[in-house]
Structure 1
Amino acid sequence: MTSSADFLAQTTSRLERIAALADEGGLDRATTLLADSIAAGGIVHVFGTGHSEAFAMEVAGRAGGLIPTNKIALRDLVLRGGEDRSLLGSSLLERDPQIAEKLWALVPASPQDVIVIASNSGVNGSIVGFALQAKEQGHPVIAVTSLQHTAAVEPKHPSGQRLSEIADVVIDNLAPYGDTTLEVAGLGVGAVSSLTAAFIAQLLTLGTVEKLAQSSEPPVYISANTPGGHERNLQLEAVYGDRLIRGA
């Protein structure tokens, strides 16, 4: 019988491997790119579709997170891009490679900005297309993906490329093929990619803040639900003006 201990073991073993990677300097290339960008006045734009949107939420606009960060989502095409809301009615939208150019047009990107993209499969058309748009504009791309899964499936972008083949830095979220870690009644359960990706997001933030702190006070959010927190955050956000995307 599958127990919570089984899933705990599957999860913690992966988190421990990721932590060891970070301790050995395996995330240093990524955190250096992020710190250098922010030190130069840049913004970190984070994109994920489906459950990988949770990774972007873990990086951008949260307490303990970096202020110069933007969460990019497919719904931006409707909320900020003028597309009809019916566009969001299909779960297949993330596979559409034509969407990437329209979505990229909504990103308030400056030359010093970095793009971070999370995708467990790393093969959907919008993800790959967005990464290609970023590279064409000269931005470094950091990818968080499952190397095991992406190697086992065919790319859905006309270029035939995977996110992991485009990015400057690739971080393996250690999720297995299909994402699930356990089996019940012949069915895969115990998806782990969201948990490992959230851990990676926090490690990237920690590493970036540590680097920035060597020369200045890092621009970090405090909880808006603490006395003076909201006012302080607004003051720091104002430094970046309309380059930050914020909303409900």
Structure 2
Amino acid sequence: MSLTSQYLQRTQAILSTIEQQEAAIQQAAQWFSQTILAGRMVHLFGSGHSRIMVEEMWPRYGSFPGFNPIVELSLSFHNLVVGANGQRQAMFLENVPGLAARILRNYDLSEQDSALIISSSGSNVVPIEMAEICQQHGLKVVALITTKHAEKSTSKRPDGKKLSDFADLVLDTGAPVGDAMITVPGLDTPVAPGSTVGGAIVVNCIKAEVARLLTEAGQPPNVLSAANVVGSERAVTLFESAYDEHAHRLAKLYEKVGIPSSVSESK
């Protein structure tokens, strides 16, 4: 069997794992749709390569407002690999205690909000603390991890707690321990990870279910759509309305954040 065939075969196994989580995906969609119907936002967070799933959820074609993508560049902009803004720094920073609190200090969290926290290992400090703080504020927290990998990983927190310990619901990407899925003859280290494949499938399943629930509730979402699907004029209208709605939802997160001011107290 070719390596391509092997990878595709393992991807089919990932699909099977995700299919078995349909009830959990439906539950996540229920919580997220309730947040969006309340005029609030679902907070999305992932450090390192987990930011891929954050961007997959919103904003892109086939997605809609209601999600707050928290992408901290110091934790995820590692395209230069080495030198300034390199991978070593990002990997160091994602295990700095207190950084999650500084990030979330920017938002006025509400019990009506909810959160999706992504971390394949579920063992790095910042995403764990993100989930912990969200729960402390009364948010429903959904964790997206790679279960087999997380079970074999050691938490970077002194108390040993992992992301799953601060989640109301845990979803699994279906990837293996170590993420990489293919063994090349003559090479003693596996290649070709699978968590991104599984993670992207999970978030898009959630997205579809949320869109259904919003539509059934009489508030169909403003979906970013291509001109060659809906026509140029409608595409522009959808883009502008979706971005404006995002701004209006985001404004609520800033309006009363932190120390009151004359602006926040004015009617």
Q: TM-score, normalised by structure 2?
A: 0.80
Over 3 Å off, 4+ runs? 86-89, 107-111, 239-245
More displaced stretch, 102-111 vs 200-209 = 102-111
Structure 1 runs not aligned, ≥5 long: 78-85
Amino acid at match of 1:6: Q
Deviations 1:111-132 (A, max 9, x none): 3111101110001011111111
Partner residue of 2:90? 91
Q: CA shift at 1:230, angstroms? A: 3.3
Q: How does 1:128-207 map to 2 (within 5 A)?
A: 128-184=128-184, 185-207=187-209
Deviations 1:68-100 (A, max 9, x none): 1111112279xxxxxxxx787712211212211
CA contact (8 A) 2:43 2:67 kept: yes
CA contact (8 A) 1:224 1:233 kept: no
Q: CA shift at 1:156, angstroms? A: 0.8
More displaced stretch, 214-223 vs 65-74 = 214-223
Larger radius of gyration: 2
CA distance 1:71–1:210, change in 2 (3 Å):
same
Q: CA shift at 1:2, angstroms? A: 4.6
Q: CA shift at 1:201, angstroms? A: 0.6
Partner residue of 2:241? 235
Amino acid at match of 2:47: T
Amino acid at match of 2:43: H
CA distance 1:88–1:41, change in 2 (3 Å):
farther
Amino acid at match of 1:56: V
Structure 2 runs not aligned, ≥5 long: 76-83, 252-267
CA distance 1:222–1:87, change in 2 (3 Å):
closer
Partner residue of 1:31? 29
Give the SS at the match of 2:122: coil
1:244 has 2:242 as partner: no
CA contact (8 A) 1:129 1:157 kept: no
Q: CA shift at 1:232, angstroms? A: 2.5
> What is the total number of aligned residue pairs between the two structures?
237
More displaced stretch, 103-112 vs 3-12 = 103-112
CA contact (8 A) 2:225 2:238 kept: no
Deviations 1:184-233 (A, max 9, x none): 21111120000000000100001111122212132232236561323333
Counterpart Cα distance in 2 of 1:60 and 1:108: 20
More displaced stretch, 97-106 vs 188-197 = 97-106
Taking every aligned residue pair, what percent have the same amino acid on both sides? 27
Partner residue of 1:74? 72
Counterpart Cα distance in 1 of 2:74 and 2:108: 12
Q: TM-score, normalised by structure 1?
A: 0.86
CA contact (8 A) 1:237 1:244 kept: no
